Amino acid sequence: MSNLSAFPITGKWPARHPERIQLYSLQTPNGVKVSIALEETGLAYEPHLVSFDHHDQMSPEFLSLNPNNKIPAIIDPNGPDGKPLPLFESGAILLYIADKSGQLLPKDAAGRYETIQWLMFQMGGIGPMFGQVGFFHKFAGREYEDKRPRDRYINESRRLLGVLEQRLEGRQWIMGDDYTIADIAIFPWVRNLVNYYGAGELVEFHKFGNVQRVLNAFLARPAVAKGLKIPAEG
C-alpha cells in the first residue's frame, strides 16, 4: 500500500485509496480538465473537493502541494521510478496523464508538439483572457463604470475564438481525427464563457459554427459529462 503521509495535504484530505492518483480540485474549467482526462483514460483516481467558499486553497495543507493556491493539483503515488509525484498546473497535469496512460496525445513527435502548441494556446491565451471576461462581465468587475477593460477582454476573446474557428474548419477535433488533451484543455473554457459567464452574445458566439459543433461533440462524450461533475459538490 502506498504511503502518502509525507504529504501534509493528506492530513486535511485523507486518502481512502492511497494507491490511486489523488486529485484536489473543484468544478471549474481548469479543474474539470483533469477529471475529464482521468475519466477518458480510465486511470484510477480519488477526487477531493477544494472549497473556495471555505478558502481551502489558502490552507497550509493545500499550499504545501501548490504554493500558487490554485486548483487543480494531483499526487500520483506511483509516479516516475515508482515514487510519488506531486504536480500542479493543469497543462502539466494533462501532459503527465497523457504520457502515463499512452492516450490523448499523438505518438509521432510532430503531432505531439503540435498538440502541445494548442495546449499552450489555451494555457497562455484562452484561459487568462476568458477568465478576465468572467471578472469584468459576471463578477466584481461588472460594477466598474469604465467598460474599457471589459471590452478589451471581450475583443481579445472574440479574436481567440476566431483563431479556433479557423483551426477547426474541416477538422473533427483540434488535431483532426485525434481527440487530445488540447480539446480537453480548450472546450471546458468555451463552455464556461458562454454558459456560466453568459458572454455568448458579447463575443458573438453565433458566428463561430465550427467551435459550436466541436463544443457539442465534446459535451456529448460520456467521460466529459462525468468529469464535469467531479469532484462532487455539496
69 is a site residue for ligand GSH (CB under 6 A) = yes
- Supply angle C-alpha 7, 2, 78, rounded to 5: 85
What is the nearest approach in angstroms of ligand GSH to the Cβ of residue 85? Answer: 16
Task: Taking each helix axis as running N to C, give the angle between helix 181-191 and helix 29-41, from 0 to 180 degrees, rounded to the nearest 10.
Answer: 140
Count of positions on this chain that bind ligand GSH (CB under 6 A): 11
**Cβ closer to ligand GSH: 28 or 35?**
28
28 is a site residue for ligand GSH (CB under 6 A) = yes
70 is a site residue for ligand GSH (CB under 6 A) = yes
What is the nearest approach in angstroms of ligand GSH to the Cβ of residue 99? Answer: 17
What is the nearest approach in angstroms of ligand GSH to the Cβ of residue 90? Answer: 4
The contact pattern for ligand GSH, residues 74-93, with x = CB under 6 A and - = no contact, is: ---------------xxx--
What is the nearest approach in angstroms of ligand GSH to the Cβ of residue 60? Answer: 15
Per DSSP, the residues of 156-222 read: HHHHHHHHHHHHHTT-SBTBBTB--HHHHHHHHHHHIIIIIS--TTTTTGGG-HHHHHHHHHHHTSH
Of 127, 176, 54, 97, whose CA–CA distance to 135 is shortest?
A: 127
What is the 3-class SS of 37-57, one letter each residue?
Answer: HHHHHCCCEEEEECCCCCCHH
Interface residue with ligand GSH among 22, 30, 35, 157 (CB under 6 A) is 30
What is the nearest approach in angstroms of ligand GSH to the Cβ of residue 57? Answer: 5
**Cβ closer to ligand GSH: 77 or 91?**
91
122 is a site residue for ligand GSH (CB under 6 A) = no
9 Cβ partners below 8 Å, 6+ apart? 22, 24, 61, 62, 64, 65, 75
Three cell numbers, residue 61: 495543507
The residues of the shown chain that bind ligand GSH, judged by CB under 6 A, are 28-30, 57, 69-72, 89-91
